[in-house]
Amino acid sequence: MTHRRPGQWPIDHPADIPPAPAPSAPPRPAADLVDVPRPDVRLVVTVDLTADYDTPADVSRALFEQTRHASDCHTAIVRVGESAARPGTDLGKSIASAFYLSARHIEVHVPAGTRHAYLASEVARYVRLFHDDHVRMLQTLHNPG
């Protein structure tokens, strides 16, 4: 049993130990401090509409099947074949509606030497329309009345 009272230091006269600063990490040589840029990782979604399609409904079905489980992405690339870009398919509107909220960039690839270059401008026009409509809808939700 000890002869000290509760709360009393166990040693009557502790050794005098001067306080010292905590040890710091050794300095690294300047050659190790190289600034290495981080790679930029982007998700790119590719839709392939280059098969032979008989009707515009087949094109719409193929676009829907390929984009049904698509997630938000940086770039959406849509490869369009000659049979998918036939008149009457309304493909520009379908592409815009599939990606106007989920992609930052939409690329439309058509075969070289075709007359379907208008498709990219049609997609851009519908993206603007859908985006403006979406903004108006959000404003009415936030500001009722």
Convert the chain into a string of H (helix), E (strand) and C (coil).
Answer: CCCCCCCCCCCCCCCCCCCCCCCCCCCCCHHHCCCCCCCCCCCEEEEEECCCCCCHHHHHHHHHHHHCCCCCEEEEEEEECCCCCCCCCCHHHHHHHHHCCCEEEEEEECCCCCCCCHHHHHHHHHHHHHHHHHHHHHHHHHCCC
Residue 145 has pLDDT above 80, yes or no: no
**Per-residue pLDDT tens for 29-88?**
666 667 788 888 999 999 999 999 999 999 999 999 999 887 889 999 999 998 998 877
Asked whether the whole model's pTM tops 0.85, one would answer no
pLDDT tens string 89-139: 789 999 999 999 999 999 999 988 778 888 999 999 999 999 999 999 888
- Across the beta sheet with 103-109, the strand order is 44-49, 73-80, 103-109
Over range 9-15, report the average pLDDT. 59
